[in-house]
Structure 1
Amino acid sequence: MSTMAKFCLAGSVAVSAGIVFYVHFRQEVERSQLHEGVIKDLERQRMRQIENITVLQKQRDLEKQLSQND
């Protein structure tokens, strides 16, 4: 095998390995970003639920005040 053929083979192997590494790296990054999105959504849901409970409690307190004033 000639020297030029060896360089071409080594270059194509290196480029292929680089592409495979990059694709796997990007998959891991995207997977972690998706996971962070799920965590943020769960946190937003929890905060909304706390806010709804607070509003509901305020409404109950106002209803009690209204019924006491009648």
Structure 2
Amino acid sequence: MSAASKITLGMAVTVSTAIIGYVHYKQSADRLKLHDGVLRDVEQQQRRKHENTYALQQQIDITKQLKAQETSTPDKNLVSEPAPCKCKCCTESLGRPTSLAGCSKQPQQKQHQQARAMESGGEEEATSGAPTRKDEI
């Protein structure tokens, strides 16, 4: 075997060994990176879980405080339901009185307000709006 062929064979074996070694090293490094990513994801999930638990506990505490305030203060914050509208159009169309907000005759809303004002005895509120005919109410 000549010297040139021995050198060529030695170089080919060396380069092949280097390539195989590099591929194995790179594969190991990639596996470590992937494993580190999984660990980061687990840490993130745990951190989010703790943050959500903390936020939930704060909401529970605030709810308890609000309930304590509700029981200690009068019921002036409660919203009462509107009085039923007893206009002819509401009573005739539905067969029962309905609230002004639930009235199917939206263009006649001023008339409904005036009729309710007259029923409650508020003459000035009834005349403050647009003039109406008594037979329409």
Task: Give the TM bin, normalised by the shorter chain.
Answer: over 0.9
Residue 2 of structure 1 is matched in structure 2 by: 2
Residue equivalent to 1:55: 55
2:31, 2:60 → 1: CA distance? 44
Partner AA of 1:51 in structure 2: E
User: Shift of the alpha carbon at 1:10?
Assistant: 0.4
Structure with higher Rg: it is 2
Q: Which residue of 2 aligns with 1:27?
A: 27
Supply the AA of the counterpart residue of 2:29.
V
Unaligned stretches of 5+ in structure 1? none
Give the C-alpha shift of residue 38 in structure 1. 0.3
RMSD, aligned CA: 0.3
Q: Structure 1 segments of 4 or more deviating over 6 A?
A: none
Match of 2:69 in 1: 69
Q: Give the letter aligned to residue 3 of structure 1.
A: A
Length, aligned pairs only: 70
User: Displacement of 1:12 after TM fit?
Assistant: 0.2
TM-score (norm 2): 0.51
SS class of match (1:44): helix
In 2, distance between residues paired with 1:69 and 1:11? 86
Tell me which residue corresponds to 1:38.
Answer: 38
CA distance in 2, matches of 1:43, 1:21: 33
- Tell me which amino acid in the other structure corresponds to 1:69: Q
Q: Identical aligned pairs, as a percentage? A: 43
